[in-house]
C-alpha cells in the first residue's frame, strides 16, 4: 500500500501540487551575477518565480541551472503539505554546504514557507540570509544587497494591492508553446485545512487590460496556449471604482466597466482563435453558468475544469469550511455536463482522513467519484498544517494507517475511472497541441487535447507548437495514443 501511495503522490504532483519542483535554465546575456531559483508547489509558485527572475534580471542577474555557480540562490516554497517543507529543508542543507566554499553566496527563501516560518528560518536555524513573502518580490534587490553587507533581508508584508501587473515575467524553462498568466493573488476562502489565506493574503484581481496585453504578447512571440491562474479564478472581479481608477484611466484602451471571470475569459479568447485558453482553479461555490456558456461559445477555450471536491460528504465539507454541500457540488457538475457535454474533462482534489471522518463518510467520497466520473484527481491523506483553522479547532484523530488505506481506495477508484473515461475517446478525432518530445521515446511526441489529457503521437512532419488532428487508437489510465490525420488543420 505504501508503494502505491508513493507512486500516486508523484503522479498527482506533476501539475499543481506540492511535490513538484522546477529549476532555472541557463541564460547568459553578459550580466555580472548569476541567479538560481528552485520552485516548489503549485503553478502559482512557478509563475511567481518568473516574476522574481524578471525583477532580478533588471538588477544585473542572469540565471544559471547550477547552484554551485550562483551568487544568489532562491527557494520558492510551498507550505501546503509537510512533505514539501521537508524537501525544502534538505535542499537548504545542500546549499549551505556549498556556501562553505562560497561564503559570499546569498541564500533566500521565498513564498509561502517564508511567510509562515520566517522567524525560525532566520533566528533559530540561521540557514538563510533572505526571507521574502509572495507580495514583497519588488524588494528583493534591496534585500539581497543588505544580505551582501552582512545583514538579514526580511520582508513578509502581505499587500492588499500587489498584483505585479506591470512586470513582464521571464519565462523559465519554457517550451515556447505554453505559459502561465497570473490573473489574481491571494484567497478570501478560509478552508479549515489550508494555509494559503495566511501565507498569500487577501484576494485581489489584476487589471484585465494587462492580462489581455500579456496574452497578446505571448501569442505574438509564438506561444499557443495560456493558463489563467488564481487560487479561485471564478471569483475574479475587477472594476475601475475598486481597482485604481485614476491610474487605469491613463492607459489607452483601458476597461471602464466591471469585469468578471466570464468577461475576462472572453477577452483573452478573442486575442486569436489559435491561442488556447485554460484556467485553474475553480471553486464549486463560485463557478457560474455564464462561465460555462462562455467556454461553449469559444472553441479555443479548452473544455476542462479543475473542480476540487475535497470530500463527498456534506458534514465533512462543513468542517472543512468549503461553503457548499454534496448536492450543490453535484448540481454544478450537472450544469457542466448539460452545457459542455460529457467530453468536458473534470478533475478534482480529494483529502482522505480529515478530522473525525467516519468510514461511511469516506464511502460518500467514493460514491461521488462514481457519479462525477473524474478524468483524473490529485489525491492526498490529511496532513495537519500549523496555523490553519483545523489545527486550532479539531483533533487530527484519524490514525495514519486508516488515512493511507482510504487513500489507496480512492487511488484505485480513480485509476478505474480514468481508464474508463479514456476508453470513451477511442476512435475519436481530437485536436492536439504538440508540447514536446515524449518522456519515453524521442520517436514520439506528446501533446494535450482540449480535456487536458496527454496524447502520445508518432514523430512526423510537424514540430513542437503545431496543432495536429489525431485519431485516438489506444489508451492507458493516464495516457491516450493517437495516429496523425492532419498537421495544422484550419482553426477558427
Point out the annotated binding site for [4Fe-4S] cluster.
Answer: 42, 78, 112, 187, 191, 194
End-to-end Cα separation, the chain, in angstroms: 48
CA distances from 489 to 33, 242, 299, 492 (A): 45, 43, 14, 10
Secondary structure of the chain: what % helix, strand, coil (to 5)? 35, 20, 40
The residues near 223 (Cβ < 8 Å, ≥ 6 apart) are 176, 177, 178, 179, 275
Bridge partners of 436?
A: 446
Closest CA to 80 of 9, 145, 25, 7: 9
CB 374 within 8 A of CB 410: no
| Distance in angstroms (rounded) separating the CA atoms of residues 480 and 425 | 8
- Give the burial class of 103: count Cβ atoms within 10 A of its Cβ; 0-12 exposed, 13-18 middle, 19 or more buried: exposed
Kind and range of the H or E run holding 468: strand 467-475
Strand pairing class (61-63; 259-260): unpaired
What are the E-state strand segments in 423-466?
Answer: 429-437, 444-448, 454-458
Kind and range of the H or E run holding 204: strand 204-205
Binding residue ranges: 42, 78, 112, 187, 191, 194
Counted residue by residue, the chain has a size of: 492
| Distance in angstroms (rounded) separating the CA atoms of residues 170 and 51 | 7
- Give the burial class of 98: count Cβ atoms within 10 A of its Cβ; 0-12 exposed, 13-18 middle, 19 or more buried: middle
Joined together, the cell numbers standing for residue 351 give: 483529502
| Distance in angstroms (rounded) separating the CA atoms of residues 340 and 304 | 9
DSSP of 254-321: ---S-EEHHHHHHHHHTT-TTSEEEEE---TTT--HHHHHHHHH-TTB-SEEE---B-S-HHHHHHTT
| Distance in angstroms (rounded) separating the CA atoms of residues 268 and 275 | 9
DSSP of 8-39: HHHHHTTTTSTT-EEEPPP--SS-SEEEEEEE
| Distance in angstroms (rounded) separating the CA atoms of residues 313 and 74 | 40
| Distance in angstroms (rounded) separating the CA atoms of residues 338 and 154 | 51
Amino acid at each position: 500500500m505504501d508503494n502505491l501511495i508513493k507512486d500516486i503522490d508523484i503522479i498527482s504532483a506533476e501539475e499543481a501540487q506540492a511535490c513538484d519542483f522546477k529549476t532555472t535554465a541557463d541564460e547568459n546575456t553578459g550580466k555580472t551575477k548569476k541567479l538560481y531559483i528552485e520552485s516548489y508547489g503549485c503553478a502559482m509558485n512557478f509563475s511567481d518565480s518568473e516574476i522574481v527572475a524578471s525583477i532580478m534580471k533588471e538588477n544585473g542577474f542572469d540565471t544559471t541551472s547550477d547552484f554551485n555557480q550562483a551568487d544568489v540562490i532562491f527557494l520558492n516554497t510551498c507550505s501546503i503539505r509537510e512533505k514539501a517543507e521537508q524537501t525544502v529543508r534538505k535542499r537548504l542543507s545542500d546549499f549551505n554546504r556549498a556556501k562553505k566554499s562560497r561564503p559570499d553566496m546569498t541564500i533566500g527563501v521565498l513564498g509561502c514557507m517564508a511567510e509562515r516560518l520566517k522567524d525560525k528560518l532566520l533566528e533559530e536555524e540561521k540557514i538563510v540570509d533572505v526571507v521574502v513573502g509572495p507580495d514583497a518580490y519588488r524588494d528583493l534587490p534591496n534585500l539581497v544587497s543588505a544580505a551582501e553587507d552582512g545583514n538579514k533581508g526580511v520582508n513578509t508584508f502581505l499587500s492588499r494591492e500587489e498584483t505585479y501587473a506591470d512586470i513582464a515575467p521571464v519565462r523559465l524553462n519554457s517550451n515556447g508553446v505554453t505559459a502561465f498568466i497570473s490573473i489574481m493573488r491571494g484567497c478570501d476562502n478560509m478552508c479549515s485545512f489550508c494555509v494559503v489565506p495566511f501565507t498569500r493574503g487577501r484576494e485581489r484581481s489584476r487589471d484585465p487590460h494587462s492580462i489581455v496585453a500579456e496574452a497578446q504578447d505571448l501569442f505574438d512571440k509564438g506561444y499557443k496556449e495560456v493558463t489563467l491562474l488564481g487560487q479561485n479564478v471564478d471569483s475574479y472581479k475587477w472594476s475601475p471604482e475598486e481597482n485604481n481608477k485614476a491610474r487605469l484611466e491613463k492607459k489607452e484602451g483601458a476597461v471602464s466597466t466591471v469585469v468578471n471571470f466570464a468577461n475576462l475569459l472572453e477577452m483573452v479568447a478573442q486575442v486569436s482563435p489559435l491561442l488556447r485558453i485554460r484556467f485553474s482553479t475553480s471553486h464549486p461555490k463560485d463557478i457560474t453558468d455564464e462561465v460555462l456558456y462562455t467556454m461553449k461559445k469559444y472553441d479555443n477555450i479548452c473544455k476542462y475544469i479543475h473542480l476540487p471536491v475535497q470530500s463527498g460528504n456534506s458534514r465533512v465539507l462543513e468542517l472543512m469550511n468549503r461553503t457548499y454541500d454534496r448536492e450543490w457540488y453535484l448540481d454544478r457538475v450537472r450544469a457542466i455536463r448539460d452545457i459542455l457535454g460529457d467530453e468536458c474533462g473534470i478533475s478534482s482534489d480529494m483529502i482522505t482522513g480529515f478530522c473525525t471522518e467516519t468510514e461511511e463518510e469516506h464511502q460518500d467520497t467514493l460514491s461521488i467519484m462514481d457519479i462525477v466520473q473524474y478524468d483524473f484527481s490529485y489525491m492526498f491523506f490529511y496532513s495537519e498544517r500549523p496555523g490553519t483553522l483545523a489545527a486550532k479547532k479539531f483533533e487530527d484523530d484519524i490514525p495514519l494507517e486508516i488515512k493511507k488505506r482510504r487513500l489507496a481506495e480512492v487511488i484505485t477508484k480513480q485509476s478505474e475511472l480514468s481508464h474508463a473515461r479514456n476508453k470513451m475517446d477511442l476512435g475519436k478525432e481530437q485536436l492536439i497541441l504538440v508540447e514536446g518530445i515524449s518522456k519515453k521515446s524521442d520517436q514520439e511526441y506528446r501533446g494535450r487535447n482540449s480535456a487536458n489529457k496527454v496524447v502520445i503521437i508518432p514523430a512526423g512532419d510537424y514540430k513542437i507548437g503545431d496543432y495536429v488532428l489525431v485519431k485516438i487508437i489506444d489508451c492507458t489510465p493516464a495516457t491516450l495514443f493517437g495516429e496523425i490525420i492532419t498537421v495544422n488543420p484550419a482553426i477558427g
